Structure 1
Amino acid sequence: MTTQTRTPVTADRSEPAPEPRARFHDLVAAEWIKMWSLRSTPWAFAVSALLVILINTNAAVADHNNWPGYPEGIRELFVPIWAMRDAFTIGGAMVLMLAAASIGALTLVGEYSTGQIRTTFAAVPARRSVLAAKTVVVTAVTTALGAVAAVTSFAVTQAILSGRHVGLPFDYPGAARVMVASALLAPVCALVGMGVGALIRHTATTIVTLTFILLVLPSLLNERNHMAASIQHALPQGAWSELVEVGESPVRELYPATIAGSWAVYGLWSIMALAIAMLLVHHRDPAP
């Protein structure tokens, strides 16, 4: 009688290979798709840019129409001071600031309010990588928004003023700085929006807070004392106002800002807002 030997079957207990980590450019692509999958996104950008351009154009049209009645003193100062101010007005800047800040805030707050952020972090536990990808997308699109608004506003307003022979060319000294400062105002405010959104995480409260910081607070300050002037110069709107000022103003400032300091304000607000967002997302939403 032959004895048959059976080999015992052992269960394969090897763990499945871990899924590959998401590459950063994949995260950027995902955030890009998220942003543009909303039907309101193209309209928000188009309306914001158009409104900024129309506000600036309206200022140039008003000066063109009122030019015959201007006294000689205003005419002497019009080039380049008033011509540059028409190129990008305070009203246009305020609209651009609020629009860009809202876009930056909603990129983050929108996911918290709908609960989609849980799905995002479940798919990609690396919170900082997700936020970095959002930052890249938001910075890119708002920089494009600011560039379109700034360059188009300059071209249109100076073409209108050229009808009175007071329009400025693109290569006029200081024109490049005005356009760059106005264009970069958008991504700076967008990053501020992300930082405030990461802190508050409530849509309405975030927008109100941004409106106060970016628009209301500068209007409450004046340059009559050093502290108020310093705070004003340290705000994005105050830095922008200094960067777009070209020519010798007849009004002497008691505590003037500097061009280098104003560029530094742009950078510091961007860095601080991003650092706050990174810190809060990492500690308030720890990876499982």
Structure 2
Amino acid sequence: MTTSTAAPAAAPAVTPSVVPAAASPVRFGDLLASEWIKTRSLRSTPWAIAVTTVFVIGSAVAATMAAHDGDAVPGAPREFLPFNAFPAAGYWTLMLVAATMGAITVVSEYSSGLIRTTTVAVPARGQVVLAKAAVTAALWTAVGAVTSVGSFLASQAVLGGGAPATQHGLARALVACTLVAPICALVGLGLGVLIRHTATTVVTGVFTLVLLPPMFSEGTRWSADVNHLMPSTAWRRLVQNWPADPDSLAYTATVPGSWAVYLLWPLVAVVLAVVVVRRRDV
């Protein structure tokens, strides 16, 4: 009687498990490139920049022509006429457009739902806000430089020259007019993160940048201090190149204090935006 022994079944082949490599962290340079693509893909961006630039420079030409035979500002000596290149109407418009466009870079993502995709791809929300702020600041600094230099050159063309590049206060005015655009754009970005609603953000920006400062006169100390904390007041002081009227009862803002306002507003806006996005659900 024969006994058959079954051959042992072959052991199943064991394939080594492949452990996926950990996802590499998103580089900040990639975030900058992504935010730049988002910004330039907005249809309103090139049109807003082009129209605003033409309007600001056109306002400078109109103000200079009006002041060609007299002083645009009562009490301003004629040697300060080149500073009519920076009219309030044109630069208030620049402030509002920059603030609105800065807010749209954030609010548009919330309204379209793209912010959810962004936060899934980049969980570090603070870095996203910093990338948005960097792109926004760079873009509107370039716009501010074009408008400030263009406004001055256009006004000089109307006047037939006459303002040397070394004229006292000219460099300060050019820098102030260049930086006011990115400052307001970053303020708008911060408001957009805080409010996340287009109409409310725009109205808040208009009220804060343009309507609020005139509510506080410079006749009393506390009111003047509040007025001097506003970006538009700081811009006006930095552009102003003639001494204050000694008979005036107003408290005049200082140049160092105005530069401090220029620094604090965008810094506070960006810091608040970073803190809010880290603590709040999308």
> Do both proteins adopt the same fold according to a TM-score greater than 0.5, normalized to the shorter chain?
yes
* 1:174 aligned partner: 169
| C-alpha distance in 2 between matches for 1:38 and 1:216 | 28
Deviation at 1:224, TM superposition (A): 1.0
Shift in CA distance, 125/158, structure 1 to aligned 2, threshold 3 Å: same
RMSD: 2.1
Q: Percent identity?
A: 45
* 1:274 aligned partner: 270
Given the alignment of the two structures, is residue 42 of structure 1 paired with residue 38 of structure 2, yes or no? Answer: no
Given the alignment of the two structures, is residue 283 of structure 1 paired with residue 276 of structure 2, yes or no? Answer: no
- Radius of gyration: which is bigger? 2
List runs of 5+ in structure 2 lacking aligned partners.
none
* 2:117 aligned partner: 119
* 1:223 aligned partner: 218
| C-alpha distance in 2 between matches for 1:28 and 1:76 | 45
The answer (yes or no) to whether the contact 2:244–2:252 under 8 Å persists in 1 is no
Please, which moves more after superposition, 4-13 or 203-212? 4-13
Letter in 1 for 2:222: M
Deviations 1:72-111 (A, max 9, x none): x97981211x431x11011111011001101111111110
Deviations 1:139-191 (A, max 9, x none): 0000001110001001111221237xxx4232211101001001100111011
* 1:263 aligned partner: 259
Q: Could you state the TM-score of these two structures normalised by the residue count of structure 1?
A: 0.89
Deviation at 1:5, TM superposition (A): 5.3
Deviation at 1:285, TM superposition (A): 3.0
Letter in 2 for 1:260: P
Letter in 1 for 2:56: V
Letter in 2 for 1:177: R
Shift in CA distance, 76/241, structure 1 to aligned 2, threshold 3 Å: closer
* 1:190 aligned partner: 185
Letter in 1 for 2:189: M
Deviations 1:213-268 (A, max 9, x none): 00001122211111111111000011111111112243635312111111011111
The answer (yes or no) to whether the contact 1:158–1:169 under 8 Å persists in 2 is no
SS of 1:168 mapped into structure 2: coil
Given the alignment of the two structures, is residue 150 of structure 1 paired with residue 163 of structure 2, yes or no? Answer: no
* 1:141 aligned partner: 139
* 2:7 aligned partner: 3
Given the alignment of the two structures, is residue 236 of structure 1 paired with residue 231 of structure 2, yes or no? Answer: yes
Deviations 1:12-48 (A, max 9, x none): 5554222211111011001111111223321111111
Q: Could you state the TM-score of these two structures normalised by the residue count of structure 2?
A: 0.91
List runs of 5+ in structure 1 lacking aligned partners.
none
| C-alpha distance in 2 between matches for 1:281 and 1:185 | 25
* 1:110 aligned partner: 108
The answer (yes or no) to whether the contact 1:56–1:88 under 8 Å persists in 2 is yes
Aligned pairs, number: 276
The counterpart of 1:88, out of the listed 73, 83, 86, is 86
The counterpart of 1:60, out of the listed 58, 64, 68, is 64
Letter in 1 for 2:78: F
Letter in 2 for 1:221: F
Q: Which structure dedicates a bigger proportion of its chain to helix?
A: 1
Shift in CA distance, 75/233, structure 1 to aligned 2, threshold 3 Å: closer
The answer (yes or no) to whether the contact 1:127–1:281 under 8 Å persists in 2 is yes
The answer (yes or no) to whether the contact 2:219–2:249 under 8 Å persists in 1 is no
Shift in CA distance, 181/125, structure 1 to aligned 2, threshold 3 Å: same
* 2:128 aligned partner: 130
